[in-house]
């Protein structure tokens, strides 16, 4: 039986050990077992988390993270991974059973892993949310962006644009369980990430020089980029700015040499799914969130 231990903060050595487990799981499954927010919460001094480590035979066999700050719906959110070497030995079940606040808990399964689906059914969880991952080959010609009249686009400037981005992001995603709560501190933390490139963080301003939208791109590997976030202020929606920003960002990613671009979109966001489908994006896989 796995030995379980809870921590409010991981040591440097523990974090390195967890990253090794996550890398092994991603190599086997072809998809990261936890989201970017979890990796950021593994940093020294990060708060608002509970970390659960499961050991077997003196080795780290499983890891679970609980976001105790919760989403905008008041739900605590968990993500977990089991080392491929220790799967089908009860580690995943032990991790999930040990998670707190079972009645209000949400648990992510990235990539819709079949083992996660079986475990969810066994433990009385049901699917409550699905986050689609779509992808597009960008080697072929892309449509010309139609920039609305009066709009100018320039790259993000660190130390200058954080507050404006957070304001527009909150207005654009006030309905979203996670994205709408992005803070200035969150933006600054991501500026410290190896992948951050201010030239790929594209901001749209109106004639009054007010920020009205943005497209934050991300490069994962030399071949793979991401439509990380496209946000448009509600007062500027409906005029084609979102599509234009998306295309400007896609062109930027292609200029960086990537061959394929991915994005995440809520399965019930029919308008966004339609826009991306018309641009040529196709379904890759999906992250599934479960609740009791």
Tokens standing for 13?
């050595």
Question: Strands 126-137, 260-266: parallel, antiparallel or unpaired by DSSP?
Answer: antiparallel
Is 239 among the annotated ligand-binding positions? yes
Is 198 among the annotated ligand-binding positions? no
Is 240 among the annotated ligand-binding positions? yes
Is 36 among the annotated ligand-binding positions? yes
Is 229 among the annotated ligand-binding positions? no
Q: CA-to-CA distance for 65 and 79, rounded, in angstroms?
A: 5
Helix (H, G, I), strand (E, B) or coil at 159: coil
Is 228 among the annotated ligand-binding positions? no
DSSP-derived secondary structure letter, 131: E
Is 241 among the annotated ligand-binding positions? yes
Is 242 among the annotated ligand-binding positions? yes
Q: CA-to-CA distance for 95 and 65, rounded, in angstroms?
A: 10
Query: E strands of the chain, at which residues?
Result: 3-7, 49-56, 59-67, 76-82, 105-109, 126-137, 152-155, 201-205, 211-221, 224-232, 260-266, 282-291
As annotated, the binding site for acetyl-CoA includes 230-232, 237-243
As annotated, the binding site includes 36, 178, 218, 226, 230-232, 237-243, 264
């Amino acid at each position: 039986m796995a030995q379980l231990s809870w921590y409010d903060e991981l040591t440097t050595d523990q974090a390195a050990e967890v990253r090794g487990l996550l890398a092994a799981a991603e190599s086997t499954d072809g998809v990261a077992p936890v989201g970017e927010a979890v990796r950021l919460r593994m940093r020294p001094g990060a708060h608002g988390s509970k970390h659960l480590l499961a050991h077997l035979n003196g080795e780290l066999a499983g890891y679970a993270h609980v976001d105790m700050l919760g989403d905008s719906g008041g739900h605590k959110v968990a993500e977990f991974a089991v080392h491929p070497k220790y799967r089908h030995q009860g580690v995943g079940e032990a991790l999930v059973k040990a998670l707190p606040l079972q009645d209000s808990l949400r648990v992510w399964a990235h990539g819709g892993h079949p083992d996660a689906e079986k475990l969810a059914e066994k433990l009385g969880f049901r699917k409550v949310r699905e986050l689609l991952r779509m992808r597009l080959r960008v080697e072929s010609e892309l449509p010309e962006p139609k920039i609305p009249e009066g709009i100018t686009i320039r790259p993000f400037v660190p130390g200058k644009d954080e507050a404006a981005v957070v304001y527009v992001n909150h207005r654009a995603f006030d309905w979203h369980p996670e994205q709408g709560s992005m803070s200035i501190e969150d933006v600054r933390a991501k500026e410290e990430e190896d992948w951050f490139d201010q030239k790929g963080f594209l901001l749209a301003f109106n004639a009054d020089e007010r920020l009205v939208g943005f497209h934050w791109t991300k490069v994962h590997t030399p071949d793979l980029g991401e439509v990380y976030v496209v946000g448009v202020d509600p007062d500027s929606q409906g005029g084609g700015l979102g599509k234009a920003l998306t295309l400007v960002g896609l062109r930027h990613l292609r200029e960086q040499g990537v061959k394929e671009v991915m994005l995440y979109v809520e399965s019930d966001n029919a308008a966004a799914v339609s826009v991306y489908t018309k641009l040529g994006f196709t379904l890759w896989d999906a992250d599934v969130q479960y609740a009791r």
